[in-house]
Structure 1
Amino acid sequence: MPDKRTDDDFLEAFRSAALPLAAFDHRAHVRAGYLMVSRNGLGLAIEAFGKTLRAFAEAHGKAGLYHETITVAFLALINERIALGGDRGWDAFAAANPDLFARDSLAAFYAPEELASAEARRVFMLPRRRVA
């Protein structure tokens, strides 16, 4: 079920870790990434989102779940979609990019074993897999 908070309220709840862990599903991850990229650009969003996500996870007792490659890859995809499709707000972005909500969104770029590696969790790894 989509979160009905305003974008500002949603981001504040994420930043302060007031957002319940159960409410921070994949769609919420993409929304937070979209908001940070659209407001700050990709470079600043990578730093801010990573820092906020790690703090959010730690506040909810899930410190070991952060994955650098998945985070940066999704932010880059979000940035690309904004640049190519225009920024018409979260609802329009979500409607225009349903593929970003699929769990296998990165399958065209990364083999499962690449994303499963300790290195990919720790540092952003460029895709090794060729897109056919």
Structure 2
Amino acid sequence: MSVGTDYAVMAAELAAGTLQPQGFSHRAHLGVAYEILSRHEVFEGMAIYARGLRQLTEAAGVPEEFNVAVTLAFLNLTAERMAAGGYQDTDAFLNGNADLLQPGVLGRYFSAGMLNSDLTRRVPVLVPQNSGSCTAALAGE
């Protein structure tokens, strides 16, 4: 994170559709997610964030980069960790969850083929296809 990053301002800009895509790093994505989820009920926060991110990719001229499943997976992980962790602020959350900043973190949950599919760009796939069934996924098979 660069000194002076204000994730709350970025979150407000994302929600308003005025955030500029330049410099919106993965760390900033997570920081903004934390800010939005800390101020809204989880479903409302997810809708605000996803709508803003979709608008941002469109403004950047790369609407194909928006991925519903990836967006909701990261929002779910963020909300889950927030509920379990009791973080004082965004920086504490980001520092306490460095694994979410690592490339390929969603590979623990989905195959690369699944995450990069047309399906996941359009709908929130909740169970990886390679698990066989919801029951198998929940049982950890």
Alignment coverage as a number of residue pairs: 132
Displacement of 1:90 in angstroms is 0.3
Q: Which residue of 2 aligns with 1:91?
A: 91
CA deviation digits over 1:35-92, x for unaligned, max 9? 1111113211111111111111112222221100000000000001000001311011
For residue 58 of structure 2, what is the amino acid of its counterpart?
E
Q: Which residue of 1 aligns with 2:106?
A: 106
Ranges in structure 1 where 5+ consecutive residues have no aligned partner: none
For residue 93 of structure 1, what is the amino acid of its counterpart?
F
Displacement of 1:16 in angstroms is 4.7
Q: Which residue of 1 aligns with 2:134?
A: none
Distance (Å, rounded) in 1 between the aligned partners of 2:39 and 2:3 = 19
Distance (Å, rounded) in 2 between the aligned partners of 1:71 and 1:42 = 13
The normalised TM-score by structure 1 is 0.88
Secondary structure, aligned partner of 2:41:
helix
In the alignment, is residue 10 of structure 1 matched against residue 10 of structure 2?
yes
Q: Is the 8 A contact 2:8 2:32 kept in 1?
A: no
Q: Is the 8 A contact 1:16 1:56 kept in 2?
A: no
Greater Rg over alpha carbons, structure: 2
Distance (Å, rounded) in 2 between the aligned partners of 1:122 and 1:88 = 34
Distance (Å, rounded) in 2 between the aligned partners of 1:110 and 1:20 = 30
Displacement of 1:3 in angstroms is 6.0
Q: Is the 8 A contact 1:15 1:56 kept in 2?
A: no
Give the aligned CA root-mean-square deviation in angstroms: 1.9
Displacement of 1:30 in angstroms is 0.8
Displacement of 1:5 in angstroms is 3.5
